[in-house]
Structure 1
Amino acid sequence: MHFQSHDFNPPLTACVARARHPAAHVQPYVRWSAFALGLLISGLLATGCSDKAPAADKNAAGAAKEPTKVGVITLQSQAQTLTSALAGRTSAFMSADIRPQINGIVQKRLFTEGAMVKAGQPLYQIDAAPYQAAEAAAKAALAKAQAQARTAEANAKRNAELVRIDAISRQAYDESLAIAEQTAADVAVAQAALATARINLGYTRIVAPISGRTALSNVNTGGLVTANQVGVLTTISQLDPMYVDVTQSSSDLLQLQRDLAAGRFEKLGEGAVRITILLEDGSRYTHPGRLQFAGVTVNPSTGAVTLRAVVPNPDGMLMPGMYVQALLPTGISSDALLVPQRAVTRDIAGKANVLVVGPENKVARRPIEIDRAVGSRWLVNSGLSAGDTVVVDGFQRIKPGDTVAPQPVQLPDAPNPAPGASAAAASPASNPAR
């Protein structure tokens, strides 16, 4: 049988050709495989993304619909006692510098430094021997003068009888009468000298003129002291009660007078001016004081008026020279609006602002004018009204125009409510947000 080569050779020839030139035929298959693999991966990714995209869009939409929760309070007007914080220093209620009134040597100190002493208690003993001798000499001089006076008086009486019978001249009688009067005067001088000697002898024992606490002693046993010397022996200070002297600027006084005249504040009643003392560490002193004196002139160098208060000091906590602050009531605001300090921010210009929640729970920025601090709050002059809802917590997470979910919060009552304030003002309704 005869076979033609072209019946079988083409496939074989093609295989041989592929074997001889493999790159020419493998490259199209590799390209096709890579292309197919890319299509497969793209399809899988597209399928996965299409499955997750609706869920992400759904979550984003849910988050956009949920408003931010913020803490708010609703403002209420109330009667509020207004105070001014004035700096000052304490001073002793009474103070006595102890100085000697005679010359001498100190024999003994009779008190303990820093201890309490009572009025009349001995403090120092000065050598009394010279003054005892002076007293004795004064006594002797008095006795001599008294003897001479008695003799002169007797002579004058005898001469009075003799002159009536013309036994002596009138001149002799007058001379005897003058001698009697002179010796009587000598007795008075001697009595005064004796009294002086006794006083000086008494000065040898120095006693406390007032009750109080003693300072350090500036003289020791054996020290020489002189009458009315410049240096003090010690100082006694009466520390219960204490004085607190503070100063208030004349400009503040003028502003207060204007506010009172305008009817913005009410005057405090007589006898109601009590002050609270803040110590150097900021703590509140236990015992309240009372205003005793207000200066009637302005210090030309400082432009301030001095105010003096009396403060009880039974525990001895206050000492002379301590720096304190006095919270002095200045008036009553019958419709005060107080906003927490933490709710107030300031813009670039330094002006105070708050965020308020308006209709549909939309947030708006409101500029306000503040007067002074009342505890942890600001007294608002303008910009807010009773019933406004102010954001106090969470305002860092919102901006004007946002919709929020207001959550009322409870704040402590404002300090120093005015006496006789209405129950609504003093009750928790003054801070209705709970």
Structure 2
Amino acid sequence: MQARIFPHHGTLVLLTLFLALSCILTACNDGKSTREQRVRDSAVFKIEARDIPLTAELSGRVSAFRKAEVRPQVSGILQEQLFTEGSLVKAGQSLYKIDPDTYDAEVESAKAAVASADATLHAAKLRLDRRIALLRSQAVSQQAYEDARAEYLQAKANLEVAKASLKTAEIHLRYTDVLAPITGRIGKSNVTQGALVTANQADELAVIQQLDPVYVDMTQSSFALLVLRDRYAAGNLVRPGDDTSTEVTLTLENGRTYPLKGELKFADITVDESTGSVLLRSVFKNPDFVLLPGMYVKASISQGVKMGALLVPQRAVRRDPKGNASVFVLANGKAEFRPIVGGDMVGRFLMVNEGLKEGELVLLEGIQNMRPGMPVNQTNVLTVDTYGKSRD
């Protein structure tokens, strides 16, 4: 018996498969929608207005408070070195001794010249006195008197020249004893006993540096200084304490904070054309000589106090490829997307200039997959004081 063929059998099969597939897709979409609407748990950060002190982190170098390069002022053979390298020397302390024999002889010669000039002056004075007496009795001419007087004045001037030469010779003799011009730590000696030194030579014999206190020189961009002045002028930033004194804190190369605070002394009046920066100089006490010239340090300078600042944790902030910042705010139990304008970094917080108001709640967890309108269950409320005690 031949089987009957139903022409619509294939169409019915395809229709059945299509309906089954539609049901499956609908169920999947319903499941996905259900998952998207699932309530998410998240801790929130409460925005509070606070007065926040702001600091600038700058790189700096230590330099000596005073520095003197010791050079000879007369020429001669170096006979003695009278100090220990690296020791503390006092102003006026003898450091080197130059052979004084030549200068002793010059002093003796100058003394003899003074004695000779003094004798010549004495003889000229006697002759002048006689000419005066004879002139009164008209026994000599007026010309003879004037010649005697001129001879006397010449002899007097010669005596003054001889005395000045003696003083110069005595000064040169004193210079054979090379003295410390300032009090401070003296470095290594660049010459040894027996070396020939010359007056005012280019190479120093040694260098003395005063290390208590010391300078710390920092650089800040001229742009940053202009921004700071504008913030003062606009009232966005209150100067720290006394306008004449700005506190500076140092961090050493090993990460340790220097225990003594310094004071900003001045800002240079010239901008470095090659770097566009301005020199800032501060002074630090250095009783234990921890800070040495040339040492690299990081300086924190107090810039002022931002009144009523709003802070948000950095972990709550998202940025798009262009760098624009945003957060999610909890509003009516749902996530609300909020673009913000950030300002200074304050530790683990970002200061918000625009986009948030005091009292709003910023979401902290799951923000990478968060979408506007998602329901959120608030689990914990953190503030600036309690945020540091929580785990990021």
CA distance in 1, matches of 2:382, 2:308: 22
**Residue number in structure 1 paired with 2:143:** 171
> Which of residues 94, 98, 109 is equivalent to 2:70?
98
Q: Residues 262 and 285 of structure 2 are in contact (CA less than 8 Å); yes or no, is this contact kept in structure 1? A: yes
Shift of 1:397: 9.0
Q: Secondary structure at the match of 1:209?
A: coil
What TM-score comes out, normalization by structure 2 length? Answer: 0.82
Paired residues, number: 353
**Residue number in structure 1 paired with 2:276:** 303
| CA deviation profile, 1:63-121 (whole Å, cap 9, x unmatched) | x98963x4443221112222222222221111111111110111111111111111111
CA distance in 1, matches of 2:175, 2:389: 72
CA distance in 1, matches of 2:101, 2:94: 18
> Which of residues 259, 266, 274 is equivalent to 1:286?
259
Q: Residues 74 and 433 of structure 1 are in contact (CA less than 8 Å); yes or no, is this contact kept in structure 2? A: no
Q: Could you tell me which amino acid in structure 2 is paired with residue 252 of structure 1?
A: A
**Residue number in structure 2 paired with 1:109:** 81
CA distance in 1, matches of 2:229, 2:97: 57
Percent identity over the alignment is: 43
CA distance in 2, matches of 1:173, 1:348: 106
Q: Could you tell me which amino acid in structure 1 is paired with residue 198 of structure 2?
A: T
**Residue range with higher mean Cα deviation, 266-275 or 246-255:** 266-275
**Residue number in structure 1 paired with 2:293:** 320
Q: Could you tell me which amino acid in structure 2 is paired with residue 118 of structure 1?
A: K
Q: Residues 74 and 431 of structure 1 are in contact (CA less than 8 Å); yes or no, is this contact kept in structure 2? A: no
**Residue number in structure 2 paired with 1:359:** 332
**Judging changes above 3 Å, is the alpha-carbon distance between structure 1 residues 178 and 286 closer, same or farther for their aligned structure 2 residues?**
same
**Judging changes above 3 Å, is the alpha-carbon distance between structure 1 residues 92 and 365 closer, same or farther for their aligned structure 2 residues?**
same
**Judging changes above 3 Å, is the alpha-carbon distance between structure 1 residues 176 and 397 closer, same or farther for their aligned structure 2 residues?**
closer
| CA deviation profile, 1:135-155 (whole Å, cap 9, x unmatched) | 111111111111111121122
CA distance in 1, matches of 2:389, 2:332: 18
**Judging changes above 3 Å, is the alpha-carbon distance between structure 1 residues 125 and 391 closer, same or farther for their aligned structure 2 residues?**
farther
| CA deviation profile, 1:13-35 (whole Å, cap 9, x unmatched) | xxxxxxxxxxxxxxxxxxxxxxx
| Residue 370 (str. 1) matches residue 370 (str. 2) | no
Gaps of 5+ in 2: 1-33
**Residue number in structure 1 paired with 2:356:** 384
The aligned runs of 1:207-356 (5 Å cut-off) are 207-268=179-240, 269-356=242-329
CA distance in 1, matches of 2:367, 2:181: 65
**Judging changes above 3 Å, is the alpha-carbon distance between structure 1 residues 272 and 379 closer, same or farther for their aligned structure 2 residues?**
farther
Shift of 1:395: 4.0
**Judging changes above 3 Å, is the alpha-carbon distance between structure 1 residues 223 and 402 closer, same or farther for their aligned structure 2 residues?**
farther
Q: Residues 105 and 127 of structure 1 are in contact (CA less than 8 Å); yes or no, is this contact kept in structure 2? A: yes
| Residue 137 (str. 1) matches residue 109 (str. 2) | yes
Q: Residues 62 and 217 of structure 2 are in contact (CA less than 8 Å); yes or no, is this contact kept in structure 1? A: yes
CA distance in 1, matches of 2:114, 2:225: 66
| CA deviation profile, 1:220-273 (whole Å, cap 9, x unmatched) | 111111011111111111111111222221211222233233332234442242
Gaps of 5+ in 1: 1-60, 413-427
Q: Could you tell me which amino acid in structure 2 is paired with residue 202 of structure 1?
A: R
Shift of 1:384: 2.1
CA distance in 2, matches of 1:285, 1:389: 39
**Residue number in structure 1 paired with 2:119:** 147
**Residue number in structure 2 paired with 1:56:** none
Shift of 1:335: 1.1
| Residue 407 (str. 1) matches residue 380 (str. 2) | yes
**Residue number in structure 2 paired with 1:34:** none
Q: Secondary structure at the match of 1:297?
A: strand
Larger radius of gyration: 1
**Residue number in structure 2 paired with 1:49:** none
Q: Could you tell me which amino acid in structure 1 is paired with residue 213 of structure 2?
A: P
**Judging changes above 3 Å, is the alpha-carbon distance between structure 1 residues 358 and 243 closer, same or farther for their aligned structure 2 residues?**
same
Q: Secondary structure at the match of 1:368?
A: strand
> Which of residues 193, 204, 208 is equivalent to 2:176?
204
| CA deviation profile, 1:305-354 (whole Å, cap 9, x unmatched) | 22221222222111112222322233322111122334434344433333
Q: Secondary structure at the match of 1:135?
A: helix
**Judging changes above 3 Å, is the alpha-carbon distance between structure 1 residues 67 and 88 closer, same or farther for their aligned structure 2 residues?**
same
| CA deviation profile, 1:116-141 (whole Å, cap 9, x unmatched) | 11111111111111111111111111
CA distance in 2, matches of 1:159, 1:250: 80
CA distance in 2, matches of 1:151, 1:161: 16
**Residue range with higher mean Cα deviation, 97-106 or 327-336:** 327-336
**Residue range with higher mean Cα deviation, 207-216 or 248-257:** 248-257
Q: Could you tell me which amino acid in structure 1 is paired with residue 70 of structure 2?
A: I
**Judging changes above 3 Å, is the alpha-carbon distance between structure 1 residues 342 and 240 closer, same or farther for their aligned structure 2 residues?**
farther
**Judging changes above 3 Å, is the alpha-carbon distance between structure 1 residues 345 and 113 closer, same or farther for their aligned structure 2 residues?**
farther
CA distance in 2, matches of 1:134, 1:85: 61
Q: Residues 96 and 236 of structure 1 are in contact (CA less than 8 Å); yes or no, is this contact kept in structure 2? A: yes
CA distance in 2, matches of 1:302, 1:67: 51
**Residue range with higher mean Cα deviation, 163-172 or 100-109:** 163-172
**Residue number in structure 2 paired with 1:190:** 162
CA distance in 2, matches of 1:433, 1:336: 22
CA distance in 1, matches of 2:384, 2:194: 68
